[in-house]
Amino acid sequence: MADVEALKREAGIEACKFVKDGMKVGLGTGSTVKHTVIELGRRISAEGLNITGVPTSLATEKLAIEVGIPLVELSEIDGLDIVIDGADEYDPEFQLIKGGGAALLREKIVAQESAAMVVVADDRKRVDNLGAFPLPIEVTPFSHEATVRSLCRLLDCRVNIRMAGNGPVITDNGNMIADAHTGPTIDNPIRTEAEILLIAGVVQVGLFNNMCDAVVLAGANGVETFVNPNGRLI
């Protein structure tokens, strides 16, 4: 576990190399990208790096403030230069599953407003087919049972509301998370995303398609960077 954490830290720091002076940076959520946030704070303090951050969750906002990253609301600026975020899975086409931290709606809004997306992860997140990690889907509390039934019929799998203690997980937006246990069967994530979003009670789905431009991966061979040949960083 100590080795995994050390590699996560190394990957999080390595991703900071994509951040240049003057950039507007989306700050993701998760156990690996937190090291990116901490390193960016160090660079601001020690090297005079001049950046502006937009956090994707309340937890990231708190950490960014603690390490001294100036923050703005996304609505106050005209897009972002880059977002650095984590992922729960990514496939050979650089399609992602995100939402294990229940921040997928804000993460996707920030990703869509970014000129490039860099993912930091460990090599357990690299898969041939998406879906072994249960697919997170943010749903409205109103009649969420009906939404879950619709998702079960559509995806032909078990779907359950994510719980914490005696109650459901509530997102930063006041919604719930439904986890779809599809297994590694999502071979057309673009179609799957579109079909899920047709269900009225669905707010957003944790499939991030055609967004990821590079992955900084921590694994047995140390930290490696893989650039999407069809991405925006070529």
The residues assigned a catalytic role are 107
Q: In one letter, which amino acid is 197?
A: L
Q: How far is CA 116 from the centre of its chain?
A: 13
Q: Do 56 and 29 meet the contact criterion of CB atoms below 8 Å apart?
A: yes
Q: Is 170 exposed, middle or buried (0-12, 13-18, 19+ CB in 10 A)?
A: middle
CA 6, 10, 12, 14: dihedral to nearest 10 degrees? 180
Q: Do 175 and 141 meet the contact criterion of CB atoms below 8 Å apart?
A: yes
Q: What is the Cα–Cα distance from 56 to 35, expressed in whole angstroms?
A: 15
How big is the chain by its Cα radius of gyration, in Å?
Answer: 17
Q: What is the Cα–Cα distance from 167 to 182, expressed in whole angstroms?
A: 23
Find residue 125's DSSP bridge partners: none
